Structures are given as C-alpha cells and as structure tokens.
Amino acid sequence: MEMASISSSPRTVEEIFKDYSGRRAGIVRALTYDVDEFYGICDPEKENLCLYGHPNESWEVTLPAEEVPPELPEPALGINFARDGMNRKDWLSLVAVHSDCWLLSVAFYLGARLNRNERKRLFSLINEMPTVFEVVSERKPLKDKPSAAESGSKAKGSVKRSSDGQVKSVQKLADESYEEEEDEHGDTQCGSCGGNYNADEFWIGCDICERWYHGKCVKITPAKAESIKQYKCPSCSMKRGRP
C-alpha cells in the first residue's frame, strides 16, 4: 500500500473534525452497541491487535500497519492480550482511554499545518464532545452542567463563552446534525451591525437583553469572554449606569 502524503489528507479544521468525529463514532460503536462482537474478536490467543475507527463511522480490529513510518499514527497495540486478565468493564475503559489518545494524535497529525488559532479551534470542537472513555464509563463531562449564570438564560445563553471563535452549540456535532444547528441560529442578527449569524465568527450573548453580537463589534475576544461571568452589552451597560 502506498503511503498517502499529508497534503492529500483532510486539511481544514472542519475536514479534520469531520474525520475525527467519524473515527470516534466507529470506536464508540465498537465499545457500546457492538461490544459483544468486539469482545469476541479480541481473542488473547491471536497476534497483537489494534482497534481502528474509520472516517465512515465503522470500526475494525486488525493487525497494525506494516509500513514504517505508517500512513497515520497507530492505535494501541495488543489490546486483546489483557482482555481475560481484567474485569470486562475495566478492560473496555482501558481500550477507550487509549482510543481517545489515538483519536487526538490522528487529528493533530492531520492538522500539522494548521496555524495556532486553527489548532485551538480544532481542539475546542473536539473538547465539546464527550471522550470515548466518558461514554464507555458512563461518566458525564462537567461541562454539561450549566453554571448559575448560564442556567437562568435561554438555550443560546449558555453558548456564548466559547474560547475558540465559534458558538458552542455549533460545536455539539456528536449527537446533533450540523445542519440543524445552522438552522437554529440562521436568523440571529448582530445587535450592533445587524449582520447575520456566521459559524466561522465569534459571537457573544448579553445576559441582560439576550441579544447577540459579533465579538469584534463589541470588542470582546474569545479569551476575554472566558473570564466574563455575566456579559452586559454596551446598551445594557449604559442603561444600568444611569441614575
């Protein structure tokens, strides 16, 4: 098999995240819905086996790639050897942890040519999804619990403080389709310039009037938004300041 050059691999943040999401979905399926089949295939009597997730959301347990260096980073080797020496759930959790590491390594291998902000955005998209370990061990990520400041506002209110320049609800690609999220915010307009919502730009929502603004229009950066517990837009700030 010929090695694929990195230039022919997914290159944009969106393409790499789609690749990551597909591979992750395949691995989650192997460790949950198809777990009995996966468990049976991982026979300790066989050679060193690896669990692969593919971009089309399928999974495969097979021998590692023969070429050196491989086309992509390789998953943990020999997952089948420990199968019968551990509690089944502990073994599945261990495979899940190694799979999370592999998924990240593939994503950032494909993203080798991304710039700093693109890498940050890629990780933020990935980080919005539960890890495979969290799914397999049935642990809920803490981020699912809204803070006191967020719980009082409507659905989009908990979205505003994304650190990567994208609204968080657009990042929840794990269980909701991208198209649905786009439709949900398609009629949102900036309270400052009147421009329509665009997933490629950073937006922030006012906790008082619940209107949405381009970060650049109200001079709020993603980094600055992280430290704001309750955001007041310029209009609401002026109203509050009057006697």
Domains and CATH numbers, the chain: 13-138 (no CATH), 189-242 (3.30.40.10)
Strands 212-214 and 203-205: antiparallel
The yes-or-no verdict on residue 25 having pLDDT over 70 is yes
CA distances 33 to 36, 102, 196, Å, are: 8, 20, 40
- Are 103 and 90 a contacting pair, CB within 8 Å? no
pTM of the model: 0.56
Neighbours of 157 (CB within 10 A): 19
Token pair of 133 as six digits: 């370990």
pLDDT above 90: percentage of residues in the chain: 48
H, E, C per residue of 89-121: HHHHHHHHHHHHHHHHHHHHHHCCCCCHHHHHH
The yes-or-no verdict on residue 56 having pLDDT over 60 is yes
Burial class (CB in 10 A: 0-12, 13-18, 19+), 134: middle
Strands 50-53 and 203-205: unpaired
Give phi and psi for 59, each to the nearest 5: -135, 160
pLDDT interval class at 241 (50, 70, 90): low
The yes-or-no verdict on residue 239 having pLDDT over 90 is no
Average pLDDT over residues 87-92: 94
**Helix axis angle, 13-31 to 88-110, nearest 10°:** 170
pLDDT digits (tens, 9 = 90+) for 119-165: 999 999 999 999 999 999 887 544 444 444 433 433 333 344 444 44
The yes-or-no verdict on residue 21 having pLDDT over 80 is yes
Range of weakest confidence among 13-17, 116-120, 151-155 = 151-155
The yes-or-no verdict on residue 40 having pLDDT over 50 is yes
